[in-house]
Amino acid sequence: MNSPPQGRALALPFIRAGTAKDPVTIAEQVEIKGQSDEDAMARLQAQDSTALNCLFDRYAHLVLSIALRILRDYGEAEEIVQDVFFYVYRKSVLFEPSRGSAKAWIVQIAFHRALDRKAHLARRGFYVGTDIDPLHDTLLDRTDVEREIGAEMNRLHLERAFEELPEIQRRTLDLFYFQGLELREISERLNEPLGNVRHHFYRGLERLRKSAFVRKTWEKRSL
């Protein structure tokens, strides 16, 4: 398993355009970067591949941090970044703004792709001789937000439930899942004892689980 190479930037997936287009001007690039994620997704759905540049610039490092936290290998994590944004390009029509933000959709794809890749690598002995048990317990057992909670909630519900968490719990989960920090690193970042950070972490996850259950139950009763 390798470490991040010094000075190497993430590369946008190669997209072969279906039709020839004039080069994007600097003014157009500025306009594109100023658009919302949802506007970029709408342009992507209209087969404007330049919109992918905008989304990649905004979220490539977030996807990388998620993949690296799960896979523990920089090369494999880079492959996930490529895979995720190529999927976003090919399957942009699957994005529905009414169900949540573009960022949440991209994060969801990143989690699923990275977890699937980790299972594939584990079956082939990629992690033999390495200590990944804590990571496995964290992401695939009690604390897998995407598979345990996400399976019961759509993205909009998950975002709302996340916003309902107390600030310290929301901050702890954000640092862990979306910024790739270990609980010990979060303890240092927040200047909190490690025991307190663990408490915030598991209490936050428990609140999300309860929220998932309550919302799912309410939806079934309203049918």
Give 114 or 26, the one with higher predicted confidence: 114
Residue whose entry in the numeric block shows the structure tokens 């998950």: 158
Q: Which two tokens stand for residue 198?
A: 């663990």
Q: What is the DSSP letter of 6?
A: T
**Using one digit for the tens of pLDDT, what is the confidence trace for 58-111?**
999 989 988 888 888 889 999 999 999 999 999 999 999 888 889 888 988 888
- pLDDT tens figures, 24-70: 455 555 555 678 999 999 999 998 888 999 999 999 998 998 888 88
Q: Please check the confidence at residue 16 and state whether its pLDDT lies above 70.
A: no
Q: Which CATH architecture is the domain 143-223 placed in?
A: Orthogonal Bundle (1.10)
Could you tell me the residue ranges of all domains in the chain?
Answer: 24-130, 143-223
Residue 210 pLDDT class (50, 70, 90 cuts): confident
Name the CATH code of domain 24-130 (choices 3.30.465.10, 3.40.50.150, 1.10.1740.10, 3.40.50.300): 1.10.1740.10
Nearest residue to 21 via CA among 56, 51, 62: 51
Task: Output DSSP code: residue 145.
Answer: I
Q: Measuring CA to CA, which residue among 62, 40, 145, 71 is closest to residue 107?
A: 62
User: What's the pTM?
Assistant: 0.61
